[in-house]
Structure 1
Amino acid sequence: MKALLIGATGATGTDLLEKLLNDTTFDEVTIFVRKPIALTNDKLKVHVVNFDRPEEWEHLVKGDVAFSCLGTTLKAAGSKEAQRKVDYDYQYNFAKAAKDNNVAHFILVSSYGANSKSSIFYSRIKGELEEAVQVLQFQKTTIFNPGMLQRKNTDRSGEVVMEKILRFMNTIGLFKKHKPLSTDVLAQAMINAAKNQTNSYDVIKLNDIYKLGIN
Structure 2
Amino acid sequence: MRVLMFGATGMVGQGVLRECLLDSGVAFVQTVGRTPTGLANAKLRDLIHPDLWHYGAIEGDLTGFDACFFCLGTASAGKGEDEYTRVTYDLTMAAAQALARLNPHMTFVYVSGAGADGSEQGRVMWARVRGRLENALQRLPFRRVYIFRPGVIQPLHGIQSKTKSYRLLYRLLGPVLPLLRRAFPGRITTTERIGRAMLRVARYGADKQILESRDLEELSA
* Category of TM-score, reference length = shorter chain: 0.7 to 0.9
Task: Give 2:43's aligned amino acid.
Answer: K
Task: Give 2:24's aligned amino acid.
Answer: T
Hey, what's the Cα distance between the residues in 1 that align with 2:210 and 2:13? 19
Hey, what's the Cα distance between the residues in 1 that align with 2:47 and 2:199? 21
Q: Which residue of 1 is the match for residue 106 of structure 2?
A: 104
Check the 8 A contact 2:186/2:214 in 1, yes or no. no
Q: Which residue of 2 is the match for residue 186 of structure 1?
A: 194
Q: Which residue of 2 is the match for residue 147 of structure 1?
A: 151
Check the 8 A contact 1:189/1:209 in 2, yes or no. yes
Equivalences for 1:12-31 in 2 at 5 Å?
A: 12-31=12-31
Q: Which residue of 2 is the match for residue 195 of structure 1?
A: 203
Q: CA deviation at 1:161?
A: 6.2
When normalised by structure 1's length, the TM-score is 0.83
Check the 8 A contact 2:6/2:32 in 1, yes or no. yes
Match of 1:129 among 127, 130, 133: 133
Gaps of 5+ in 2: none
SS in 2 for 1:4: strand
The range that moved more, 156-165 or 12-21, is 156-165
Q: Bigger relative contact order, structure 1 or 2, given CA contacts below 8 A and separation 6+?
A: 2
Match of 2:214 among 186, 202, 207: 207
Gaps of 5+ in 1: none
Equivalences for 1:38-49 in 2 at 5 Å?
A: 38-49=38-49
Q: CA deviation at 1:84?
A: 2.5
Check the 8 A contact 1:66/1:103 in 2, yes or no. no
The range that moved more, 61-70 or 37-46, is 37-46
C-alpha RMSD of matched pairs (Å): 2.8
Equivalences for 1:52-201 in 2 at 5 Å?
A: 52-62=53-63, 63-75=65-77, 79-101=80-102, 102-115=104-117, 116-151=120-155, 152-154=159-161, 155=164, 156=166, 157-158=168-169, 176=184, 179-196=187-204
When normalised by structure 2's length, the TM-score is 0.81
Q: CA deviation at 1:58?
A: 3.9
Do the aligned partners of residues 121 and 158 (structure 1) sit closer, same or farther apart at CA in structure 2, a change above 3 Å counting? farther
Q: CA deviation at 1:56?
A: 2.5
Percent identical pairs in the alignment equals 26
Hey, what's the Cα distance between the residues in 2 that align with 1:80 and 1:106? 25
SS in 1 for 2:25: coil
Do the aligned partners of residues 65 and 82 (structure 1) sit closer, same or farther apart at CA in structure 2, a change above 3 Å counting? same
Q: CA deviation at 1:196?
A: 0.8
